[in-house]
Amino acid sequence: MMHPTLEYVFEIRATIDRDLHIGRGPDEQLSFTPITGGSVSGPRLNGEVLPGGGDWAVERSGTAQLEARYLIRADDGAVIDILNRGYFRATPDILRRMDAGEQVPEDEPGLYFRTAPVFQTDAAPHRWLAEHQFVGLARDEDDQVCIRVFLLA
């Protein structure tokens, strides 16, 4: 039986603004977090996160279902679209630590912050992004969401 392997390809550091709480009912909360910029760096892609995207989150029973949409401009000028879906869940203790400004690593027990980014581009040097499956390990760091992106082989 084949076992999947992961190849680290780059890290996205998306700078975010304050959440906009939309609300939706007693058992779930809807919010939007604007993305104002950022960077991309790693062995297979470097560039910048363009301002103007955002992350919608629906929280139910302590787990937030995330859907972020934004653009990257690679160092060669190519624009790459990202749709990044995932889940965030943390114990009350970890949430308190994060609210206090502590940088909690993505492998901390009690923290689950994982994504599955999908990329679109017609730029030939970056077509590999639109032709593979990826997983992301995410963490909050200062005013950024940092996602280490791995190609699933």
**Residue 105 pLDDT exceeds 90:** no
Helix (H) or strand (E) holding 96: helix 92-99
The predicted model gives 133-153 an average pLDDT of 94
- Angle 17-150-136 (CA atoms, 0-180°, nearest 5)? 35
Fold of 6-152: Porin (2.40.160)
- Give the tens place of pLDDT for each residue, 86-104: 999 999 999 999 888 888 9
Strands 20-21 and 54-60: unpaired
H/E stretch holding 118 reads strand 111-120
| pTM (two decimals) | 0.92
Residue-wise pLDDT tens digits, 111-131: 999 999 999 999 999 999 999
